[in-house]
Structure 1
Amino acid sequence: MSIHPQTDWRTVLSDSTLLALAGNAVFRRGQTYACSGAISAAELSYPDASITLKAQVRGTRAYTVELSVAADEQLEGDCDCPHAEDGNFCKHQVAVAMQLRQLLEGAELTIDPEAQKKVAAASKRAQTQASKRDALLKFLQEQTAQTLAERLWQIAEHDRYIMADLKAWFALSDVRQDGKSLKTALSNILKSQGFLDWYACTAYARRAEQILPLLEKTLQNEPLLARTGCEHALRCLYRVAEHADDSNGEIGGVLGAVMDLLLRSLEAVPPTAAWIENWFALMDADPWGLWNEAAVLEAAGPALVHAYSEKVAQDWQKWQVSQPKQETGKATASREAAYFSYDYVRSTLRRRYMQDLQRQGDVLAVIALMQDSARENHEHLELIKYCEDQNKMREALQFAQQAYTRYPDHFAVVDALLRCYDRDGWDNEAYAIRRKQLEKSPTVANYQAVLKNAKTAGLDVALVREGLFFWQIQEEQQALKKPAYQQRLALPNSDNKRGGNAGLVVSARVGWLLAENRVEEALALVQIPNRCAPELLHAIASRLPSSENQRAVVLLLRLFEHAMPGASTPYTQALDLIREILPRMPDSAQWLSQLRMQYKAKRNFIKGLAEL
C-alpha cells in the first residue's frame, strides 16, 4: 500500500525529533535497544494514510509499543511501560521509531553484539531486582502483625516523616461524625513544627491531602459539620503556610481544595448573617490572600450578602474616622510622602466597599466613593474610566481635569484628559496640552500629534509647523551650553575630534523631516558640524537612491567611525555597516585594504572582513 505523498516521515522520525521528544538519556538508551535485537513481533501497516508499527520490546518484561506517523506529520506513540504511563516518550518508543525508519528506508536490520549484551545485562539486573522485591514482599507477608508493628514503630522513631504519616493514619481511623472528633483528626494530620523548606513541603502536602476525602465524606453526610471542619483545616494550614517555602505550590493546592469544599458546604447549607465574622477572621488569617470573595457571596446566599454589604460599609467608615485629619496649609515633603504611601488596609477596605456598591448597581454611590477617596493617580484614573463605562462623559471630563491639575506630568492622566478633550471637541485645549508634551519630549509621535490636533482645531498647519521648527532651533542653540546633553543624544564627528565647532544637535528636527519624507532637507541638516542620532543618519542613508551613493557613503562612514572605537567581538554592527557601504563605494577594494592595515590588531575583525 502506498504512503501518503505529503507524509514527511524522514523528518518526523529523525534523530533530532526523537531526541527532542525523549531527552538525551532516554534517547541514548533507545538507540541501544534499537540495535540490540530486543524488538520482535513487528507489524507494519498503513491505516488511513498513516504509517503504524506495532511491536514487542523486551526489557524487564515484554512491553507492547505502537507508533504512528499521521498524514499531518504528527508522531504518536504508546507503550505500556511505567515511564510511558506518565505521558513520557520512553526508550521503547525511541527504539521502535528507529526500526520504523529503517523499514521505510528499506535498510537491512542489523544487530550490534555490544548493544545486545548491554540490554541483556540491564534486563537481567532489572529481573534480579524485581525478584528481590517479590521475595521481600513475601517475607513481610509471612510476618505476624505484632512483629510488623514493632518494626514499623522502630523505623518511625528515627524518621519524622513516617511518624507523621502514622499519626495521620491513626487520626483518620479514629474519626467520628462529631465536631470534636473531626477537629482533633484534622489538627493531628495538619500539625507541623518549625520551618518547612520546599522539599519538606512536598511531604507535608502529601500528608495534608488525606483530609480531603475525610472532608468530602463529611460534606455528603453533614454539610454544616463539613463547613466547621473546613474552617478549622484552613486555620491549621495558614499557620503552617506562614513558615513554609511552598515554591512548588503544593500546600497552596491543598488550601485551594479545602476552599472549594467550603464553598460547596455553603451552597448545601447557606449560613446565617452571623457567619460573616468567621469568614472575615479567616480572610485576615490568610497569609497568601487566596480568597475569592465574589465566589463566597455567590455560594452563601442572601443573608450573608446583606451582612457583607453592611460590614464593608461600616469597616470603611470606621477606617476613615480613625485617620488623623490632614493639616491645612502647605504640607511638608515628608508629610506628603507619608500620606500618599501605599496602605494595604485602606486599599482592601476601599476595594471591598466599592465592589459591593458596584455589585448592587448603585452608580452614583460608586462615583461619590471614588471621588471622595481618590488620593493616588491610579485611583483618579479608575474614576475617569468608570464614568466613561457608565456613559457619564461630562463627569469623566470633570474628573480628568481635576486629575490633571494634581498630576500634570503623569502620562496616563494626560492621556485620559486628552481622550476626554478629543471626544468632547475641546480641540484648542487638547492642542495646548499636546504642545506642552512636544516641548518636554520632541519625539516624532508628539510632533505628528500636534500637527494633527492643529488641523482639527482649525489652525494654520503650515504656520504651526514653521513655529515648531523655529522653537526647536532655539532649543538646539540652548543645548550648545549643555555638553552632557550633546554627548547623550548625538553622534560625534571628525570636526569635533579636531576641536572644531561643536555644531547643533539636530536629531529632533531630522526625525520630524523624515516622518514627512523630506529626505533632502534632513540630509542638508545633518551635515558637519551638526550632529545627529546614529539611527537617523542610517535612515537618511537608506532612503538615498543609488544615484546618491556618494552622499550615502559619507553618512555611513560617519556611522562606521562612531561604531568602531567601542566595538568588540564579534563586531556585528561594524561588519554590517561595511556590507552596506561596499556596494555603494566605487573604490571599495582600496578602502578594505585600508581597514586591514588600520585595524590589523583586531584579529576577529580582520577575520570578519575576510568572510565578507
Structure 2
Amino acid sequence: MTHALRFTEKDLRRLAGARSFERGLGYLSAVTRLEVGDEAITATVDGTDAYEVELTEDEDSGLTGWCDCPYGREGNFCKHCVAVGLTVLGQAGSVPGQRSAAATRTRLLNGWLESRTREELLALVREQLADDRDLRRRLELRAAAAGEDTGVVRERVLHLLDTRPFARYGYVEYTDAHAYGRQAAEAVTALRALTASGRAPDAVEVAREALRALGRAYGEIDDSDGLIGDLTAELAEAHLEACRAARPDPVETAEWLVRYLLDEVSDATDIDLFDYRDVLGDPGLARARTLVVAAWRADPKGWAEKYLMERLLKTDGDAVDALVEIRAADLDPNGRTHLVIARELEAAGRADEAMEWAERGLRETVAEWGPDSDLVAFVCERHQRAGRPADVVAVRRRLLRARPSLAAYQHLRTAASAAGTWESSERTGALEVLKATARPERDRWYGGSVLVDALLDDNDLQAAWQAATDGYADQRQWLALADRIRDRRPADALAVYLRWIEPLRRQTGDATYERLTELLLSARACHRTLGTQAEFAAYLAALRADQKRKRKLMALLDRHGL
C-alpha cells in the first residue's frame, strides 16, 4: 500500500538534535542517487566520504535512519540522514507516485523471477558472481557448509576472520571495522549452517579455531560501537549450539574450555563455563573443577584464575569461606579487596566478621592515596547504624592524622558535629594537625596549606587571614581570602590584589592579561568601597602607560572599561 510521507521537518530536528540538523542543511546539494522505494528511502551523501543513507517509516516506531558514517554507525540520526530527509520533504508531492512505481517494479521483478527456468536463474546468479567477489565468497562458504568438505569451510571461516585485508598500519581502524564485521558475520552464519546440516561435530572443531582467531584479532580492532563485541558473542553462542547438538566427549570438552578461558584470547567472548553445564554433565564438570582449582593454586593472583574459581564456588552454592580465601590471596593496597570480602561476609549474615575485615582494611592500607573511600564509608555506616557515633569520629580522626586533606577535615567535621563534639574538642585538634603538616613560607605561588583551605571552608576568615599572614597561604588562597573579605575589609583585600598584580606586569600572554584584568577589576571594586576612585584612576593610568606596547592587554582593558 502506497502512502505519503508521515514525517515532518520537526521530526528530523527532534531525531537529530539542533546541531546535527543545522549541519544537515549544508549537505542538501550533496544528496545523490535518491530512491524512494515502497519500504525505504535510500540515497548517497557526499561528505568526507560517500556515505550510504537509508530512512524507513514505521507506523509504530515512526521515522528511523541509518548511515554508514562514523557518527551514524553509533546509532545516531546524523546530518546525512537530515539532508536526505529534507530532500525528500522538498519533493513530498511526488512521493506517493514514486512509491507506487517502486511497488510495481517489485511485483514485476518477482513475477519475472518466478517465471524463469532453473537454468535461466542459474545463469543469472553466475553472471552476478562473476562481478561480485563478496557475493561469491559468501555463496562459496554456504555451499561448503551444506556439502561434505569441512576443510573448505574451515579455510573460508578463518579467512573471513583475518583482519589483515582491513588493517592499515597493522590495526583495523573504526572506519574499517564495520566492513570487517559484515565479513566476519558470514563465518558465524557458516558455523550455524554446519550444525543445521547435521555436521555439528565439525562445527565444534571449526568454532574452536574461530574463537581463538577472533580473540587474537579483537585487540587489533577499534570496536568503539561494539559491533565486533556483539559478533564475538554470536560466535560463542554458535559454538555452544554446536556442542549441544554434537554432544562431544564431556571430559575433553571441559579440558578445552578451561584452557581457552585461562588464555587471554577468551577476553573478547565472555564465555561462561557453566553455560555448558548440560554439555559437560557430571563428568565434565568434575574435570573442570579439578583443572580450575589446580590453575588457581598455581597462580592465585591471576585474574582469569581468580574469576573462574569464584564462578566455580558460587555455582556450587554456599562457599563464603573459600571465596574469602581466594580474595585474601591477593589484597589490593587500598583496601578494596577487604571491602569485597566484608560485603560477602555481611551478605552471608556474618556481620561481625565483615566488620573485622573492613577495619583490617583501614589498618593495612599501604597506598599513599589512602584507603578506598567506599571501604571507609562502609565502616562508618556500620558504626553509625549500631549507635556508635564516637567510633565514626575516631575513624575519621585517624584518617585525617594519617593523610591530612581538606576532604578528611570535612568528613571529620561532619562526624564530630553529628556526635556533638566538633566545637568542644575535635576542631582544635584537627586544626593543630593541619598546622603541623605545613611549614610557613611567605609569598609562595603554589603549594598552599590545607590549614588555610579548612579555615576558609569553616568561614573562619579571621583565623584564615592570620594563617595566611603567618605564611601558610599560596597565591590562590590569598586571592580567595581577599575575595571573601573585600566587602568588610576592602583595604586589606586591596593590598592583596596589588601585591599579585605587580609580578604580572613583567609577564606576557593571553592568560596573564586576563588574570591581570580580573585583579584590576577587583582592585577597582575595593577603591569604590573605600571612596578612593581618584587614587585608582591614577594607578591605572600609570599602569597603562607602562604597559602600552601590549596591544592585546590594552584591548582587554578597554573592553572592561579600565
TM-score bracket for this pair, using the shorter chain length: 0.5 to 0.7
What residue is the counterpart of 1:435 in the other structure? 397
Alpha-carbon shift at residue 175 of structure 1 (Å)? 4.2
Is 1:198 paired with 2:170? no
Is 1:173 paired with 2:173? no
Change (3 A) 1:521 1:91: closer
Q: Deviations over 1:303-342 (max 9, x none)?
A: 547744652354324552x57xxxxxxxxxxxxxxxxxxx
Is 1:291 paired with 2:232? no
Maintained 8 Å contact 2:56/2:63: yes
Aligned partners of 1:213, 1:67: CA distance in 2, in Å?
26
Aligned partners of 1:348, 1:556: CA distance in 2, in Å?
59
Residue 233 (structure 1) aligned to one of 201, 204, 207: 207
Letter of the 1:256 partner, please give it.
Answer: A
Aligned-pair Cα RMSD in Å: 5.1
Residue 154 (structure 2) aligned to one of 163, 186, 200: 186
Letter of the 1:591 partner, please give it.
Answer: Y
Change (3 A) 1:598 1:226: farther
Residue 449 (structure 1) aligned to one of 399, 411, 414: 411
Alpha-carbon shift at residue 207 of structure 1 (Å)? 4.4
Aligned partners of 1:519, 1:293: CA distance in 2, in Å?
60
Letter of the 1:578 partner, please give it.
Answer: L
Residue 484 (structure 2) aligned to one of 534, 539, 543: 543
Aligned partners of 2:325, 2:382: CA distance in 1, in Å?
25
The range that moved more, 570-579 or 595-604, is 570-579
Aligned partners of 1:433, 1:240: CA distance in 2, in Å?
50
Residue 292 (structure 2) aligned to one of 309, 315, 319: 315
What residue is the counterpart of 1:390 in the other structure? 348
Change (3 A) 1:18 1:28: farther
* 5+ residue gaps, structure 2: 1-8, 35-42, 46-53, 67-71, 93-119
Letter of the 1:89 partner, please give it.
Answer: C
What residue is the counterpart of 2:361 in the other structure? 403
**What SS class does the counterpart of residue 301 from structure 1 fall into?**
helix
Q: Percent identity?
A: 15
Change (3 A) 1:247 1:254: same
Alpha-carbon shift at residue 596 of structure 1 (Å)? 0.7
What residue is the counterpart of 1:115 in the other structure? none
For residues 1-20 of structure 1, the aligned pairs below 5 Å read 20=22
Is 1:89 paired with 2:81? yes
Letter of the 1:386 partner, please give it.
Answer: E
Aligned partners of 2:317, 2:425: CA distance in 1, in Å?
51
Maintained 8 Å contact 1:384/1:396: yes
Change (3 A) 1:215 1:370: closer
Residue 569 (structure 1) aligned to one of 506, 510, 517: 510
Residue 258 (structure 2) aligned to one of 273, 280, 285: 280
Alpha-carbon shift at residue 435 of structure 1 (Å)? 3.1
For residues 48-127 of structure 1, the aligned pairs below 5 Å read 88-89=80-81, 93-94=85-86
Maintained 8 Å contact 1:383/1:399: yes
Letter of the 1:397 partner, please give it.
Answer: M
Residue 608 (structure 1) aligned to one of 544, 548, 556: 556
Aligned partners of 2:363, 2:543: CA distance in 1, in Å?
59
Residue 419 (structure 1) aligned to one of 378, 402, 417: 378
Q: Deviations over 1:127-162 (max 9, x none)?
A: xxxxxxxxxxxxxxx9x97xx99x95xx9xxxxx95
Residue 221 (structure 2) aligned to one of 236, 240, 246: 246
Is 1:589 paired with 2:537? yes
Aligned partners of 1:470, 1:251: CA distance in 2, in Å?
58
Alpha-carbon shift at residue 581 of structure 1 (Å)? 3.2
* 5+ residue gaps, structure 1: 1-6, 33-37, 39-56, 60-64, 69-74, 80-84, 101-141, 156-160, 324-342, 491-506
Maintained 8 Å contact 1:22/1:91: yes
Aligned partners of 1:229, 1:556: CA distance in 2, in Å?
78
Q: Deviations over 1:536-579 (max 9, x none)?
A: 33333333363533333233334444655556215333323333
Alignment TM-score, normalising by the size of structure 2: 0.65
Aligned partners of 1:208, 1:487: CA distance in 2, in Å?
58
Change (3 A) 1:27 1:535: farther
Alpha-carbon shift at residue 471 of structure 1 (Å)? 4.7
Change (3 A) 1:261 1:521: same
Aligned partners of 1:288, 1:207: CA distance in 2, in Å?
21
Maintained 8 Å contact 1:234/1:255: no
Alignment TM-score, normalising by the size of structure 1: 0.61
Maintained 8 Å contact 2:153/2:190: no
Letter of the 1:394 partner, please give it.
Answer: D
Aligned partners of 1:247, 1:228: CA distance in 2, in Å?
31
Alpha-carbon shift at residue 608 of structure 1 (Å)? 0.3
Maintained 8 Å contact 1:238/1:285: no
Is 1:465 paired with 2:413? no
Change (3 A) 1:379 1:229: same
Maintained 8 Å contact 1:442/1:508: yes
Aligned partners of 2:437, 2:182: CA distance in 1, in Å?
68
What residue is the counterpart of 1:599 in the other structure? 547
Alpha-carbon shift at residue 585 of structure 1 (Å)? 1.9
Aligned partners of 1:403, 1:304: CA distance in 2, in Å?
40
What residue is the counterpart of 2:316 in the other structure? 360
Change (3 A) 1:470 1:381: closer
Aligned partners of 2:65, 2:417: CA distance in 1, in Å?
68
Change (3 A) 1:459 1:560: same
Aligned partners of 2:203, 2:406: CA distance in 1, in Å?
64
What residue is the counterpart of 1:210 in the other structure? 186
Q: Deviations over 1:484-505 (max 9, x none)?
A: x956414xxxxxxxxxxxxxxx
Aligned partners of 1:517, 1:531: CA distance in 2, in Å?
17
What residue is the counterpart of 2:306 in the other structure? 350
Q: Deviations over 1:260-301 (max 9, x none)?
A: 22334456677663332233344456625223344x524642
Aligned partners of 1:368, 1:525: CA distance in 2, in Å?
49
Maintained 8 Å contact 1:231/1:282: no
Maintained 8 Å contact 1:235/1:285: no
What residue is the counterpart of 1:22 in the other structure? 24
Q: Deviations over 1:445-469 (max 9, x none)?
A: 3223334444667757433323343
Maintained 8 Å contact 1:189/1:211: yes
Q: In terms of Rg, which structure is larger?
A: 1
**What SS class does the counterpart of residue 258 from structure 1 fall into?**
helix
Maintained 8 Å contact 1:190/1:236: yes
Q: Deviations over 1:478-533 (max 9, x none)?
A: x25x89x956414xxxxxxxxxxxxxxxx433323222222233234434x63513
Aligned partners of 1:354, 1:177: CA distance in 2, in Å?
43
Alpha-carbon shift at residue 213 of structure 1 (Å)? 3.5
Is 1:534 paired with 2:468? no
For residues 473-552 of structure 1, the aligned pairs below 5 Å read 473-476=435-438, 479-480=439-440, 488-490=446-448, 507-527=449-469, 530-544=471-485, 546-552=487-493
